[in-house]
Amino acid sequence: MLVFVLNAGSSSLKYQLINAETSELKASGLVERIGIDGILKHEVGENKKLTFELQIPTHKEAIELVLRILTNDETKVINSISEIEAIGHRVVHGGEYFKKSTLINKDVMDKIRKLIPLAPLHNPAHVLGIEICNELMPNIPNVATFDTAFHQTMPEENFLYAVPYGDYTEHHLRKYGFHGTSHYYVSNEAIKILNKKTSKIIVCHLGNGSSICAVKDGKSISTTMGLTPLEGLIMGTRSGDIDAGVIPYLMERKGLDSNQIINYLNKKSGILGISGISSDLREVIKASNDGDKRSKIAIEMLCGRIKKYLCSYAGLMQGVDAICFTAGIGENSDLIREKVCEGLGFMGIELDTEKNKIRTHGTREIHNESSKTKIFVIPTNEELVIAKDTYNLVKSK
């Protein structure tokens, strides 16, 4: 079954065309700057990469363009749109409504809309993406896969904030957690390698946005992101954990309103804010190597926060069988992995620094022989999870 996987953002669209039975990736791409000018980067297989720069005023035109490219003579991977049998949508916020992926109907759409206050930047774009697919491919079933769903197994003591309880029941104030599809995929791959009935796994999804998840017996029991993706680790431009008292203090001192302070914490902070160089860790590592002090401290802060959560989750689960590193930084930066694991031998976590430096595609083990805890690098694949969930739901419809 060919599944079109769509991740609609406010001015961008990511897509993949996947054979869900064989896991074969037929084509993938990214449309950016919708409504501004427009760039489409399209990839077929491993080798063929194409870039188109053209006016893309709306999301509808963006999806029409992608469908044309998939069937167009020069870039063709399918003969006709009718070969697409299902569409899987990434949806950031599923609130407490969705504990797993679901076929989309009117009730599901209403709930995704109801959750807009919790994900004002993301859910409106997802609704738009689904509506356009319904219009352009009216008879094809649509499935939603939620970033929050995997974390719905967290126990109350790990998802509540210590504020008056009524604000949870009345205003849905709680930790939801994000990157759930990635944490699910990576922990599941680790479980296959461990081949044990019970397991304690910590997944470090370290990218532009980052989160850590404690996965016990295949279930998320705690994660670092919260009501919104701002909580937890230090990220490219996000502060992560911060004393809530900082907010009124800065609002008063700098005369900021609530939008401005949220923008400050989401867009101007994190690695970018500390280093003053970039949100891209590669540039910050380079600057640090060239002697830039603020870049060096940004890297120390990033690794210190990861280590803090790693140790606290090992404590929460009373042990850890495997630590998994994934996403842009987790998969590619041997420096960050080394700094995070440094000094944790007392907990049975021992990195093999040579294995850690070897770069290959695919899953690899980077612990040394005496390490009680296994350490893996596992490339994430959220789109494959979406395609498989879509296939399973549509097949059993």
Catalytic sites, residue numbers = 147
Which position has the token pair 């596992």?
Answer: 378
Dmax (CA) of the chain: 61
Which of 280, 321, 350, 365 binds ligand AMP (CB under 6 A)? It is 280
Element (H, E) at 163: none
Handedness of CA 230, 232, 235, 238 (dihedral sign): positive
Cross-strand pairs, 211: 205
Query: Is 282 assigned to a binding site?
Result: yes
- The type of residue at 340 is V
281 lies in the binding site for ligand AMP (CB under 6 A):
yes
Cross-strand pairs, 216: 200, 219
Query: Is 118 assigned to a binding site?
Result: no
Handedness of CA 305, 307, 308, 313 (dihedral sign): positive
Query: Is 217 assigned to a binding site?
Result: no
Task: Please identify, among the stretches 60-68, 224-232, 237-245, 326-334, the one whose residues bind ligand AMP according to the rule CB under 6 A.
Answer: 326-334
Length of the chain counted residue by residue: 397
Query: Is 135 assigned to a binding site?
Result: no
| CB neighbour list of residue 310: distance below 8 Å, 6 or more residues apart | 202, 204, 212, 323, 340, 344
328 lies in the binding site for ligand AMP (CB under 6 A):
yes
**Minimum separation from the CB atom of position 279 to ligand AMP (A):** 6
Nearest residue by C-beta to ligand AMP?
328
Number of residues that bind ligand AMP (CB under 6 A): 12
In the bound state with ligand AMP, the residue whose beta carbon lies nearer, of 95 and 328, is 328
SS3 content of the chain, % helix, strand, coil (to 5): 40, 20, 35
How far is 114 from 99, CA to CA, in rounded Å?
Answer: 16
How far is 284 from 333, CA to CA, in rounded Å?
Answer: 12
Which of 327, 349, 386, 394 binds ligand AMP (CB under 6 A)? It is 327
Which position has the token pair 């590619």?
Answer: 332
Query: Is 157 assigned to a binding site?
Result: no
How far is 296 from 245, CA to CA, in rounded Å?
Answer: 27
**Minimum separation from the CB atom of position 380 to ligand AMP (A):** 8
Cross-strand pairs, 29: 15, 42
- The type of residue at 123 is N
8 Å CB contact between 321 and 196: yes
In the bound state with ligand AMP, the residue whose beta carbon lies nearer, of 112 and 299, is 299
Query: Is 332 assigned to a binding site?
Result: yes
Query: Is 158 assigned to a binding site?
Result: no
**Minimum separation from the CB atom of position 227 to ligand AMP (A):** 21
Q: In the Cβ-directed half-sphere of 303, how many Cα atoms lie within 13 Å?
A: 20
Task: Please identify, among the stretches 82-90, 222-230, 299-307, 327-335, the one whose residues bind ligand AMP according to the rule CB under 6 A.
Answer: 327-335
338 lies in the binding site for ligand AMP (CB under 6 A):
no
Letters for 284-323 (x = contact with ligand AMP by CB under 6 A, - = none) are: -x--------------------------------------
**Minimum separation from the CB atom of position 207 to ligand AMP (A):** 2
How far is 135 from 116, CA to CA, in rounded Å?
Answer: 22
**Minimum separation from the CB atom of position 335 to ligand AMP (A):** 7
Letters for 204-243 (x = contact with ligand AMP by CB under 6 A, - = none) are: ---xx---------------------------x-------
Annotated binding site for substrate: 90
Annotated binding site: 7, 14, 90, 205-209, 280-282, 328-332, 382
* Residues of the shown chain interacting with ligand AMP in the complex, contacts defined by CB under 6 A: 207-208, 236, 280-282, 285, 327-329, 332-333
